[in-house]
Structure 1
Amino acid sequence: MFGAISGLNSVWSWQCEKGYCQKKLITNETENTALSLPACRLFCSQSAALWPKPTGTVSVGNFLAKINVNSIDVEGIKSETTTTDLAQAAAKIFKEQIRILIPKNVNPTGGKSLIVNLDIQNPNINKITLELDESYTLQISESSDGRLKALITAATFFGARHGLQTLNQLIIYDDLRDELQVPRDVSVTDKPAYPHRGILLDTSRNYVTVDTIKKTIKGMGASKMNTFHWHITDSHSFPYVSQSQPRLSKLGAYSPTKIYSPSDVAEIIQYGKERGVRVMPEFDAPAHVGEGWQDTGLVTCFNWQPWQSYCVEPPCGQFDPTKSKLYDVIEGKFPLLIK
């Protein structure tokens, strides 16, 4: 009575009722059509539980096909374009995301091959701007030879990457049968509702590790957000290690370990780009300048007390506009901080 039915891993399945997935006991009559919770979520929502909800149309057939995890290929990546490396990285990430769905102690076998074709119309657009076309279409079907085919059409790499992310969300792990599945006969048209979809992270007031920043960007990519505003410096600390002005971080970082090297910044920028996220590092100025600059003679009000009389929060600090040397720094030396 309490064992799984005919090899299924659970006595429970899920059924869509009035827009909600309800748990149902599996019987001999329902075992062949029993749905796992991920499968029920696909069919119980008009948008196939996609996040964010597509702004266009979503059509999902009622048939789930088993996927061979060892036979997934991404094709159509054009060579020698400015986004070739980005597309290859996105394809690798896509495959890794699928494998993560499978429990560590499970080795599913069999299933159909999945061929993903990327049709990118302008493969040399490699920068995210407010005017960027991030739209895409996704179609999933089964070919006459039994292979599953997913066609992603987009104007730019960034739209195609969104299409891969949508496809990834449509691929589920059926824990009743221990297999990867994807709905067949799928059509999705989508484009972002807003050109700027971002968050701001302040690493001056509170230091955040590189790995944690990457986790944040990874989540942004999964949600199709496109701008990571990185507020690196403020009056509280200067954690960036400038090759031209190394004393700034020596005086301004919370500790010698709470810093960001130029290679850290470059790595984070590239990590974001591969996930469709523009990383925008910000060095706050002319106000909000303090720690790190205290012996330059270019700041005023630094750490003055009572702070309520000079700024909205301690420590106070800002560039002193009466110092002629300041303008040399701003016009000439300050851009070198990012090197």
Structure 2
Amino acid sequence: MRGSFACGVAPLLLTLILAPAATTTFFSLPSPWGYRCDVGRCIKEDNTGVEDLVTLNTCKLTCGPFGVLWPQPKSATVGKEVVQFLPSNITHKTSCAPAVCELLEQAVVIFKDNLQRYHPDYAAGLTPWKGPWGPATVGHTLNLDVTVNTDATRLSLETDESYSLSVSTTGQTTTAIIITATYFGARHALETLSQLVEYQEYQDSLMIVSTAEVSDSPVFKYRGLILDTSRNFIGVEAIERTLDTMAANKLNSFHWHITDSHSFPLYLESLPKMSYYGAYSSRHVYYPADIRHLVEYGRVRGVRVLPEFDAPAHVGNGWQWTEKEEGLGKLAVCVNREPWQSYCVEPPCGQLNLANPNMYKLLGQIYDEMVQLFSPLDLFHYGGDEVNLNCWNTTAEIVAWMTENNNGLDADAYYVQWGTFQERARQLLTTANGEKEVTGILWTSHLTEAGHVDRFLNNSQYIIQIWTTGDDPVIGELLKKNYRVIFSTYDSWYLDCGMGAWVGEGNNWCSPYKGWQKVYDFSPYEIAINQTGADQRDLIMGGEAALWTEQVDDTAVDSKLWPRGAALAERLWTNPSANWKPAETRFIHNRQRLVKRGVMAERIQPEWCHQNEGLCYL
């Protein structure tokens, strides 16, 4: 029976309830167990009514220095008492510039929706919050008081994401005071506040800690995930869910690897044949309205949607139409060429044709539209990895062009032309962006190898994204030459690893699977110290976990990204000094919370471990 059962009273009766449809039965009963907090752990004990035990959710909220906050804040004091309230009893007031207040209104709606999802009936599609409730619960109000001191509404690498949150309770009112420099800090504060709330199963209400003080800011400026939507198409709803979950974990950069040699799902109004020839089907296309929607959807949630147009390699399907267009010529070479092992790292192959000047005209058109779709850009990813020199050097048109221009045909000659291509691409993007320079991001590649990078790339114009291993000596060289970097090392932060091979047999190339513990423990600062003697915090922008989708589509994207993406989030937000072990119980609870919010996050442990903290160990 729902109602006023107190956790300290021993259960005497189990009542079988029939659901309204009379097709499902369930037990609604007081638990024979209760919990007490002991040295930061929730200890499960017989609920005899003698000791003052609390529910599991109550203990989770109030036990330990951070309760169940994720990622761990810079500093926090969480009270040991809770008060009950109903989601209908939330009020708010804001002090901010008009454009910021408009965003905050949306953020408060998201905050309230997240609290609704804590009710176990929500996911089942049943009507939640049926009570009955006592006068104290019905009369209790949660008041939000939010102050934002600047008018910034767009994220950049210089955005102040810090916030302070103070929770206090007087009588029938709990007040949450949020003070921040920017909207993005306020949004983070609302997320933290939502994690100070849980469902109270015996009162069929919400509960919030009666007092809390949080002062918080991220260690790294750039905290992201890469999602590839070319190898397999990922639907808009799945991307929305990804952005929601990134926001729940205070990640701020969604790196969208939107096209590749496999498919071209991006619809361009000036170049509709790119997706006509390159999309898997008419249902596997992102239209301009989809792009603009997702960019704004992310902004409201504190996440930049960062586009990548990978070139000069990783192009192919979608470019075939240019061969049939009079006067254009072949703009991409080696497209679907066999045997693929000779011309690219995975099928299908394809690279831009350096010998055809029309290629730059088309590239400029692509940039023009991408700038409009993702505007305003503070960062742009050029891709720029895994060029196969054999593709270019076995294409008659390119070989003839290289020879006629006395460029040579050795590897260094092609690197020079690749570097020239990259400079032309930068100029085209700048023009597309109204002559305003955009900081570019490039993958580590042959251009960034030892002794190469400063020949081809200006360290003020580019950030280098490291996808090789954590012990790659090029990391130290890049940092010593004052290049800014983003870490995405495949031996720690590639989330698609550990599956069966998708070509041939055995395991996929980057196996084994990267468990959340490995994701959590990888520290960019430690790598920098090992290679340069200093943490290089001014040059390390942050990091990304990558999900390449050879073996992922809508059905698996949640479980591949989460909850391991949350482990990355705490590493990049807090850079904890300890390893994963002290974070385990908070991590497991965070996974439970994500599931309540509709995320199909992978199971990490049996439920028994969640209910018996510290007993699942080696």
TM-score (norm 1): 0.92
2: CA distance, partners of 1:53 / 1:4: 41
Following TM superposition, by how much is the alpha carbon of 1:111 offset from its aligned partner in structure 2, in angstroms?
A: 4.2
Residues 1:60 and 2:78 aligned together: yes
1: CA distance, partners of 2:179 / 2:274: 47
Following TM superposition, by how much is the alpha carbon of 1:334 offset from its aligned partner in structure 2, in angstroms?
A: 4.1
* SS in structure 1 at match of 2:258: strand
* SS in structure 1 at match of 2:222: coil
Q: Superposed, which structure 2 residues align to 1:79-228 within 5 Å?
A: 80-81=98-99, 83-104=100-121, 105-108=128-131, 109=133, 110-122=138-150, 124-143=151-170, 146-228=172-254
* SS in structure 1 at match of 2:143: strand
* SS in structure 2 at match of 1:149: strand
Following TM superposition, the consecutive aligned residue runs of length 4 or more in structure 1 with deviations greater than 6 angstroms are none
Following TM superposition, by how much is the alpha carbon of 1:77 offset from its aligned partner in structure 2, in angstroms?
A: 4.7
* SS in structure 2 at match of 1:270: helix
> CA-to-partner distance for each residue in 1:174-201, whole Å, 9 max, x for gaps?
1133221111121011111211110000
Counterpart in 2 of 1:319? 352
> CA-to-partner distance for each residue in 1:36-80, whole Å, 9 max, x for gaps?
11211122221112000002x211222211123211012115362
> CA-to-partner distance for each residue in 1:106-139, whole Å, 9 max, x for gaps?
42441411110111111x2111111111000110
Following TM superposition, by how much is the alpha carbon of 1:332 offset from its aligned partner in structure 2, in angstroms?
A: 4.5
1:41 is aligned, of 50, 60, 64, to: 60
Following TM superposition, by how much is the alpha carbon of 1:10 offset from its aligned partner in structure 2, in angstroms?
A: 2.1
- In structure 1, stretches of 5+ residues that fail to align are none
1: CA distance, partners of 2:29 / 2:339: 70
Residues 1:237 and 2:263 aligned together: yes
Following TM superposition, by how much is the alpha carbon of 1:223 offset from its aligned partner in structure 2, in angstroms?
A: 0.3
2:288 is aligned, of 244, 248, 262, to: 262
Counterpart in 1 of 2:368? 335
* SS in structure 1 at match of 2:195: helix
Higher-strand-fraction structure = 1
* SS in structure 2 at match of 1:70: coil
1:52 is matched by which residue type in structure 2?
Answer: P
Residues 1:3 and 2:12 aligned together: yes
Contact 2:139 2:172 in 1 (8 A): no
1:271 is matched by which residue type in structure 2?
Answer: Y
Contact 2:84 2:206 in 1 (8 A): yes
Following TM superposition, by how much is the alpha carbon of 1:35 offset from its aligned partner in structure 2, in angstroms?
A: 1.2
Given the superposition, is the C-alpha separation of residues 138 and 8 from structure 1 closer, same or farther in structure 2, using an over 3 Å criterion? farther
Aligned-residue sequence identity (percent) comes to 39
Counterpart in 1 of 2:306? 280
1: CA distance, partners of 2:102 / 2:263: 35
1:211 is matched by which residue type in structure 2?
Answer: E
Following TM superposition, by how much is the alpha carbon of 1:249 offset from its aligned partner in structure 2, in angstroms?
A: 0.7
Given the superposition, is the C-alpha separation of residues 247 and 102 from structure 1 closer, same or farther in structure 2, using an over 3 Å criterion? same
Following TM superposition, by how much is the alpha carbon of 1:91 offset from its aligned partner in structure 2, in angstroms?
A: 0.5
* SS in structure 2 at match of 1:158: helix
> CA-to-partner distance for each residue in 1:17-42, whole Å, 9 max, x for gaps?
34321222222333xx4311121112
TM-score (norm 2): 0.52
2:357 is matched by which residue type in structure 1?
Answer: S
Counterpart in 1 of 2:42? 21
More relative contact order in 1 or in 2 (CA 8 Å, sep 6+)? 1
2: CA distance, partners of 1:16 / 1:133: 36
2: CA distance, partners of 1:303 / 1:203: 19
Contact 2:163 2:216 in 1 (8 A): yes
Counterpart in 2 of 1:299? 332
Contact 1:203 1:231 in 2 (8 A): yes
1:107 is matched by which residue type in structure 2?
Answer: K
Contact 1:66 1:111 in 2 (8 A): no
1: CA distance, partners of 2:105 / 2:13: 42
* SS in structure 1 at match of 2:246: helix
1:133 is matched by which residue type in structure 2?
Answer: D
2:54 is matched by which residue type in structure 1?
Answer: L
1: CA distance, partners of 2:366 / 2:188: 39
Given the superposition, is the C-alpha separation of residues 43 and 333 from structure 1 closer, same or farther in structure 2, using an over 3 Å criterion? closer
Contact 1:89 1:274 in 2 (8 A): yes
